Amino acid sequence: MREDQKVLPWTDPRPTWDRKSGMFLQTSFISRRAFALGTAGWLGCAAPARALPVQRSGALLFDIWRKQRRIGTHELHFSVSNGTLSVDIAVRVNVLFGPIAISHYRLDGIEKWRDGQVFHVATTTNNDGEADDMRADRHPQGLIVQGSKVQTYVAPANALPATHWNQVELNGPWINLQNGRLLHPSVKRLGADKVRVANGDILLARHYRVSGDFALQLWYGYHRQWLSLAFTGKDGSNITYLRRDG
């Protein structure tokens, strides 16, 4: 990745914590002075200054919208036990034409972290009746990935599962959460932007465009929280994630 594409820490002025949304709000633009990221968001556990960006509520919840209709949800639920962070993932999409379902998608997964490293990922997916799965486990030689569309391989050291809640994934290859394929996204930082969340609030975000193996856009908050995602569907329609309260 080029130097201008790397994920950099936010800069001042400092944001304020909004209790209602469980996120950091910012009303002015970003200055060039460095802002040291804090420890908020580790579910109340002691953590180093660069702790993983886990939502205080323990959940990241999104409504998925297409053509002004809510077509599904994407939910991540976080828990910590004995030093292990577990992330339960559930995606549900059901596109209707009148009363008739014309497309459905379901993904269930688990992601586990310890000592700042992902050590286990497993998912199953049903995409309009087509089944996929993947699994990754950390061994001495690295993170070994298996999947329905790949032969077993050892992932590059900087590869992460494409679960999007951890902004650090923008700095390296992605492991496809549906089938285990190794992806090499090209990431362009677009700068400061504003994102609407499900309750109507407008939050300051940092905007990224991802291209290469696939195309999508991602927005992250001042404190690295995942705020939104957008992409173009197979039929050319715009698909947008609206974050709601956890």
- Percent of the chain residues past pLDDT 90, beyond the cut: 67
- Average pLDDT of the segment spanning 128-141: 96
Give the pLDDT band (50/70/90) at residue 100: confident
pLDDT at position 69, please?
92
Pick 130 or 2 by higher pLDDT. 130
φ, ψ at 170 (rounded to 5°): -70, -10
Whole-number average pLDDT of the chain: 82
11-59 tens-digit pLDDT: 333 334 344 444 434 333 322 222 222 222 333 333 332 468 887 789 9
pLDDT at position 118, please?
97
pLDDT at position 223, please?
84
pLDDT at position 126, please?
96
pLDDT at position 222, please?
81
pLDDT at position 10, please?
38
148-166 tens-digit pLDDT: 999 999 999 999 999 999 9
Strands (E), the chain: 16-18, 23-25, 59-66, 69-81, 84-97, 100-114, 117-127, 130-139, 142-147, 150-154, 160-161, 174-175, 182-183, 186-196, 202-211, 216-221, 226-232, 238-244
State the CB neighbour count (10 A cutoff) for residue 136.
Answer: 25
- Percent of the chain residues past pLDDT 70, beyond the cut: 79
> What is the rounded CA–CA span in Å between residue 90 and residue 153?
25
Give the pLDDT band (50/70/90) at residue 112: very high
173-229 tens-digit pLDDT: 999 999 999 999 999 999 999 999 989 999 999 999 999 988 999 999 988 899 999
- Which amino acid type is present at position 9? P
pLDDT at position 35, please?
22
Pick 49 or 71 by higher pLDDT. 71
Give the pLDDT band (50/70/90) at residue 136: very high
pLDDT at position 48, please?
32
Model pTM above 0.75: yes
Over 80: is that where the pLDDT of 168 sits? yes
- Average pLDDT of the segment spanning 113-131: 96
